Amino acid sequence: MSEEFLKVARAAREAAAELAPLPRAPKDRALRAVADALVARTAEIVEANAKDVEQAREQGTSEAMIDRLRLDAARVAAVADAVRQVADLPDPVGEVVRGGTLPNGLELRQLRVPLGVIGIIYEGRPNVTVDAAALCLKSGNAVLLRGSSSAYASNTALVRVMQEALEGTEVPAGAVQLVPGRSRDSVKELMRARGLVDVLIPRGGASLINSVVEESTVPVIETGVGNCHVYVDADADLGLAVEILLNAKTQRPSVCNAAETFLVHADVAAAFLPRALAALAEAGVTVHGDERVARHGDVVPATEDDFRAEYLSLDIAAAVVDSLEDAVAHIRRYGSAHTDAIVTRSQQAARRFVALVDSAAVAVNASTRFTDGGEFGFGAEIGISTQKLHARGPMGLPELTSTKWVYTGEGHLRTSEGSVLARPDQG
């Protein structure tokens, strides 16, 4: 491991130990100081960002990507506002998750504690640098940030401003660290830093996430790959189904909770598909349908790859299924276990779909777009976990914590016959 990497990782480790026992008030004060500094030093941040934008333009980056990268005064102000919102959220640390008095009189509590040092690997927008840092600090964690190399100058400026703002607070400045270097080597170092980093959260496309999962010896929380389904049941209200499908596909096609496939029960295919295909075509959506879908309108023939695709565009795969169970089997086979929806008037079908679909979220008569920390009332979200360990679905502040058991006695000893109390010197 390079000296530069070890230096920041060890600094984060030390800061984490200092930060963990802090109660809410000093953490909130520190976050507000960070927000103020971001606004006060907007010019410096925008100037650094201009270098990234210039370089991106020289490299022929698309205007859409450049727009994602760009920071201006309004965007910096929005980033600072988001930090203030995190300061307003309740602190998960110290929450008593379970507790009670054991039969032998030991008082037992399970308390929420910070995870320690969290590594975040991300692409795209530089605002993630600040959002992720704020969520980690609020939950008592130090953070190692590894953003896109295309935003390196912006991220360097943002981290410098945050660290300098923390200098005057009780939160150690070392708790926010940018992983040095633009090369892929620094990602590898982060993935191999077992013992220094407690968890890695990759945020980005499927290829980034898969490579982290494969190579990391640090525990990983997978996020954000969404091949979401809408299943239109035999008992569906077809008007509702068309609108839910359209909303799930088109309201924001580039996000992980957008629908990428719809499945229709054979009994309603003839009634549903002509309406649905017309509505989708009108919304500019290209349908990649199987043979049974193709009987009811113009579609592009679907391949296996279409059913696995996370399009993130105005494309959707479609198939006709013979039963709810076949819909579930399709979802299990091709899905990413993010969010899958059923549209039905049948209580029994809804219950069965919910029981059988093994995904982070299951929606009944609602758009898949609601799987979101903000919609769920978490106030903020670090990502959407599509794995089963530790956290599943939208991750808010409690998902950035672990727990610690504390038991308090008065000289409790364990014997093969049960507990006894030690004899004190002074009664």
State the minimum distance, in angstroms, from the CB of residue 366 to its own copies: 4
State the minimum distance, in angstroms, from the CB of residue 426 to its own copies: 6
Q: Which is nearer to its own copies, 116 or 226 (CB)?
A: 116
State the minimum distance, in angstroms, from the CB of residue 194 to its own copies: 8
Which residues are CB-contacts of 212 (< 8 A; sequence separation ≥ 6)?
121, 187, 191, 200, 202, 220
Q: Which is nearer to its own copies, 57 or 333 (CB)?
A: 333
State the minimum distance, in angstroms, from the CB of residue 299 to its own copies: 23
Q: Which is nearer to its own copies, 68 or 369 (CB)?
A: 369
Give yes or no for a contact between 226 and 252, defined as CB atoms under 8 angstroms apart.
no
Q: Which is nearer to its own copies, 266 or 355 (CB)?
A: 355
State the minimum distance, in angstroms, from the CB of residue 185 to its own copies: 21
Indicate the residue type of 370: F
Q: Which is nearer to its own copies, 39 or 213 (CB)?
A: 213
Give the separation between CA 254 and CA 315, rounded to whole angstroms: 11
State the minimum distance, in angstroms, from the CB of residue 99 to its own copies: 11
Give yes or no for a contact between 19 and 137, defined as CB atoms under 8 angstroms apart.
yes
Q: How buried is residue 326: exposed, middle or buried, by Cβ count under 10 Å (0-12/13-18/19+)?
A: middle
Q: Which is nearer to its own copies, 293 or 362 (CB)?
A: 362
State the minimum distance, in angstroms, from the CB of residue 7 to its own copies: 19
Give the separation between CA 140 and CA 136, rounded to whole angstroms: 6
Closest CA to 202 of 15, 4, 386: 386
Give yes or no for a contact between 286 and 311, defined as CB atoms under 8 angstroms apart.
no
State the minimum distance, in angstroms, from the CB of residue 56 to its own copies: 27
Give the separation between CA 127 and CA 151, rounded to whole angstroms: 10
Q: What are phi and psi of 341, to 5 degrees?
A: -115, 150
Q: Which is nearer to its own copies, 7 or 404 (CB)?
A: 404
Q: Which residues pair with 354 in a beta bridge?
A: none
Give the separation between CA 242 and CA 312, rounded to whole angstroms: 19
Q: Which is nearer to its own copies, 126 or 396 (CB)?
A: 396
Give the separation between CA 175 and CA 19, rounded to whole angstroms: 8
Give the separation between CA 262 and CA 280, rounded to whole angstroms: 12
State the minimum distance, in angstroms, from the CB of residue 20 to its own copies: 7
Name the residue with tokens 């190579």.
215
Closest CA to 52 of 65, 64, 69, 68: 69
Q: Which is nearer to its own copies, 203 or 369 (CB)?
A: 369
Token couple for 392? 């599943």
